[in-house]
Copies of this chain bind each other. A is one copy, B any other.
Amino acid sequence: MLNRIAIAGCGNVGTALLEILYDKRDELEIKYNFRYEVTLIHDLMKGSIADQNGLDIGQVLKELRTNNSFANMEQAQGDFSALLELSKATMLAEATPTNMETGEPGLGHIMEALSRGISVTTTNKGPLAVAGEMLTAAANDRGAQFRYEGVVMSGTPLIHLLQQGIAGATVTEFEGILNGTTNFVLSRMDEGATYADAIDEAKRLGYAEANPTADVEGWDAAVKVAILARIIFGKNLPVAEVERRGITEITKEKIAEAGRRGNKIKPIAGIETTGGILRGYVAPKEIPLDHPLASVSGAVNAVRITTDNLGDITLIGPGAGRRETGQALLVDLIAMGTKE
């Protein structure tokens, strides 16, 4: 079967996906029996291009490199619904920027695709935070798949592990380092930097945004906790109900004190269950050196999952990066394209 891929959002992540698809066309067919054409690329800034027989990805990448736009290419006309129709897409990779209040424009793209029975993968936390339950229901209604490996830990396959890898085991608890920025900042402070210097360095390296509030006050991790609550426990845990303490209260001195006790302070996000009640939290926590999350430094992410059948499982890997997040889209596209 030929998979016709639509891509919404062609920034860093969408472009990385195109690069990987282009480089690995033969390998994907041989190893996974995954044959594809990209039939639509839609980007609010760069324009929309479509060809139901498949765009020339080499040409598209050249345009992106030289003009960072599709302005010199023939534009496809119409709203997103019309573009999907035109492209005959069988799957959508959604990688538009995140808006945590409205979920748009990703939410509209995803609903439009799912309502047509087109399977979707997204790296965008906004639509999941705003309407995760509705989107899952819409996918089930239409027999489409809705996947989102990239919303937590970029391409490190946490969601695959939870949904497929440990299927049959019951998770009783999880804790993790889900925000790379705050882990980088605390790691640098552990090496002697002040909070202010560490934040500045994170900004210079592109780990932190100009306004780092969402990271340092724990909002980013809290959203991920809410998303994981639904995946792991099948329950709705509103972001507002996730207990949240930022890392702004942490000083070099507190880190040194913890060090004298043989401990590290790490930005931990987690869920505990007591009698079926979920407690989600994000907080800087003091953990012993032999804890599996203690040695996870820099911008790396990690989770420890406690289960009935397997005891503790720990997964460590990148939590961000354009190619890493492009890989997250790819792994879902392969899963959707080789399902039957």
Type the 1/0 row for A302-324, where 1 means its CB is closer than 8 Å to any CB of B.
Answer: 00000001111111111001011
Chain B hits for A165, CB < 8 A: 157, 160-161, 164-165, 331
Task: Return A240 CB to nearest CB of chain B, in Å.
Answer: 27
Chain B hits for A313, CB < 8 A: 156-157, 315-317
In the bound complex, CA of A290 to CA of B297 (Å): 9
Do A164 and B327 touch (CB < 8 A)?
Answer: no
Pick out which of these stretches binds chain B: A4-12, A167-175, A255-263, A275-283.
A167-175
Task: List A273-299 residues whose CB lies under 8 Å from chain B.
Answer: 290, 292, 294-295, 297
Do B166 and A309 touch (CB < 8 A)?
Answer: no
CB of A221 within 8 A of chain B?
no
Chain B hits for A134, CB < 8 A: none
Residue of B at shortest CB range from A321? B311
Task: Return A227 CB to nearest CB of chain B, in Å.
Answer: 18
Q: How large is the interface on A (under 10, 10 to 19, 20 to 34, 35 or more residues)?
A: 35 or more
Do B331 and A167 touch (CB < 8 A)?
Answer: yes
CB of A22 within 8 A of chain B?
no
In the bound complex, CA of A330 to CA of B165 (Å): 11
Task: List A229-244 residues whose CB lies under 8 Å from chain B.
Answer: 234
A161-B157, A292-B316 known; A167 vs B335 contact (CB < 8 Å): yes
Interface centre among A290, A292, A317 (most CB of B within 10 A): A317
Chain B hits for A314, CB < 8 A: 314-317
The binding surface of chain A is classed by DSSP as mixed
Type the 1/0 row for A139-158, where 1 means its CB is closer than 8 Å to any CB of B.
Answer: 00000000000000011110
Do B311 and A318 touch (CB < 8 A)?
Answer: yes
Residue of B at shortest CB range from A329? B168
CB of A71 within 8 A of chain B?
no
Chain B hits for A335, CB < 8 A: 164, 167
Do B331 and A166 touch (CB < 8 A)?
Answer: yes
CB of A57 within 8 A of chain B?
no
CB of A340 within 8 A of chain B?
yes
Chain B hits for A270, CB < 8 A: none
In the bound complex, CA of A169 to CA of B170 (Å): 28
Do A20 and B309 touch (CB < 8 A)?
Answer: yes
In the bound complex, CA of A227 to CA of B299 (Å): 33
A-B contact pairs, 8 of them (CB 8 A): A160-B160, A166-B327, A309-B326, A312-B317, A313-B316, A314-B317, A339-B340, A340-B340
Q: Which 4 A-B pairs have the closest CB atoms?
A: A157-B165, A309-B327, A168-B330, A314-B316
